């Protein structure tokens, strides 16, 4: 029987590709998005692909009701995404990321939705005592930002409370990069690549800190894989999403970009305000679900450079390509 999947934030950076992957797998797809970043072009693309778009906010009960009607599965991506965006307006971040998520979960349960994938983040691990040892899903959570604190809170509710018949799966995404229909240039790999390609002087803070990275298409593929897996294997569980070999320092990222372009200049600036420092293990999703990423950071850099050279993104410094001013 054909399943219907709702993707909240479906016109976003990950959401556009998640909708495409779900549709390619034979599902009916509905997207709920308030088009916060002016994604009119992306909205038209979704409709052209056969995705039903509900323009609305997850904080709006009527929008949630319309979006959830007849739905079997929910992919919850909608959020004020990232530490900088949450810091700009903490009250809004709480309304959307906490209250909006709680309301969506409650309404989905009452609507009889069977499955939910909750988009979380590896930022939940914060600063590790020994960042050279990759942390697993069972490791200590030590969020150091409002965004990660909010994700940890929703995760705990989903895993500890009973929302039957709804069975959630929490996916902790590595830092995402790569080309997508709703392009973002406020993500480390994409931003560094753009700035050096444009011949700018790039100042890098915390170049020695570790972070995992995953391509946006691989993240979308992981979402669909979880929904295609028997619920007994993934329900009320957590999976890190990425590849164990794709942990990098910012220094490593710059060196890799330098291998592919000689433009721009780089300087390293000492700063300790962002204490996140963690390597992450992605062995569970590989061993238990057979998930393998198809792209690496060098692949993503090459892809972004090619897109910039082709003028694919218009003004790569435009407000539409970032989540904060």
Q: Residues 103-143: pLDDT tens digits?
A: 999 999 999 999 999 999 999 999 887 888 999 999 999 99
CATH topology of domain 184-212+246-276+296-321: UDP-galactose 4-epimerase; domain 1 (3.90.25)
The sign of the torsion formed by the CA atoms of 182, 187, 190, 195 equals positive
Q: What number is the average pLDDT over the span 250-277?
A: 89
Active site residues: 147
Give the whole-angstrom CA distance, residue 157 versus residue 139: 18
Q: Residues 166-222: pLDDT tens digits?
A: 999 999 999 999 999 999 999 999 999 999 999 999 999 989 999 999 999 999 999
CATH topology of domain 4-176+213-241: Rossmann fold (3.40.50)
* Nearest one of 322, 311, 294, 280 to 141, comparing CA atoms: 280
| Radius of gyration over every alpha carbon of the chain, rounded to an integer in angstroms | 19
- The pTM (predicted TM-score) of the whole model is 0.97
Helices (H), the chain: 15-24, 40-48, 61-68, 83-88, 90-93, 101-110, 146-160, 188-197, 216-228, 231-234, 250-260, 283-289, 297-309
Q: What is residue 130's predicted lDDT score, i.e. its pLDDT?
A: 84
74 pLDDT exceeds 80? yes
Name the segment(s) of the chain with CATH classification 3.40.50.720.
Answer: 4-176+213-241
- Helix, strand, or coil here: 202? strand
Name the segment(s) of the chain with CATH classification 3.90.25.10.
Answer: 184-212+246-276+296-321
Q: Residues 8-47: pLDDT tens digits?
A: 999 999 999 999 999 999 999 999 999 999 999 999 999 9
Task: For strands 28-33 and 52-55, give the pairing.
Answer: parallel
Taking CA atoms, 246 is separated from 92, 95, 215, 216, 249, in Å, by 33, 33, 10, 14, 10
Phi, psi angles (nearest 5°) of residue 127? -105, 120
- What are all long-range contacts of 106-112, with beta carbons under 8 Å and residues at least 24 apart? 107/61, 107/64, 107/65, 107/68, 108/68, 108/71, 108/74, 108/166, 109/163, 109/164, 109/165, 109/166, 111/68, 111/69, 111/71, 112/165
Task: Specify whether the backbone of 81 is left (phi greater than 0), alpha (psi in -120 to 50) or beta.
Answer: beta
């Amino acid at each position: 029987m054909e399943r219907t999947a709702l993707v909240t934030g479906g016109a976003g950076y990950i959401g556009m590709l998640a909708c495409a992957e779900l549709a390619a797998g034979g599902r009916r797809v509905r997207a709920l998005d308030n088009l916060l970043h002016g994604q009119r072009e992306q909205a038209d693309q979704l409709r052209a692909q056969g995705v039903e778009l509900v323009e609305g906010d997850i904080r709006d009960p009527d929008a949630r009701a319309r979006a959830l009607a007849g739905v079997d599965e929910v992919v919850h991506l909608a959020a004020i995404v990232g530490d900088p965006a949450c810091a700009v307006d903490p009250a809004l971040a709480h309304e959307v990321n906490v209250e909006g998520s709680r309301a969506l979960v409650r309404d989905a349960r009452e609507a009889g939705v069977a499955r939910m994938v909750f988009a979380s983040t590896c930022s939940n691990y914060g600063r590790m005592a020994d960042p050279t040892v990759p942390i697993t899903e069972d490791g200590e959570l030590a969020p150091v930002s409002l965004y990660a604190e909010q994700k940890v809170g929703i995760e705990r509710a989903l895993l500890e409370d009973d929302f039957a018949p709804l069975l959630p799966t929490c996916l902790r995404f590595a830092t995402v990069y790569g080309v997508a229909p709703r392009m973002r240039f406020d993500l480390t790999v994409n931003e560094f690549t753009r700035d050096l390609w444009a011949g700018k002087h790039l100042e890098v803070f915390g170049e020695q800190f570790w972070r995992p990275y995953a391509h946006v298409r691989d993240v979308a593929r992981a979402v669909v894989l979880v929904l295609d897996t028997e619920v007994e294997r993934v329900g009320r569980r957590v999976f890190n999403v990425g590849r164990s070999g794709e942990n990098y320092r910012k220094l490593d990222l710059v060196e890799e970009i330098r291998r592919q372009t000689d433009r721009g200049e780089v300087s390293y600036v000492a700063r300790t305000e962002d204490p996140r420092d963690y390597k992450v293990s992605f062995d569970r999703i590989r061993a238990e679900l057979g998930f393998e990423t198809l792209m690496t950071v060098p692949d993503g850099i090459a892809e972004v450079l090619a897109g910039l050279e082709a003028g694919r993104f218009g003004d790569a410094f435009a407000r539409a390509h970032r989540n904060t001013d």
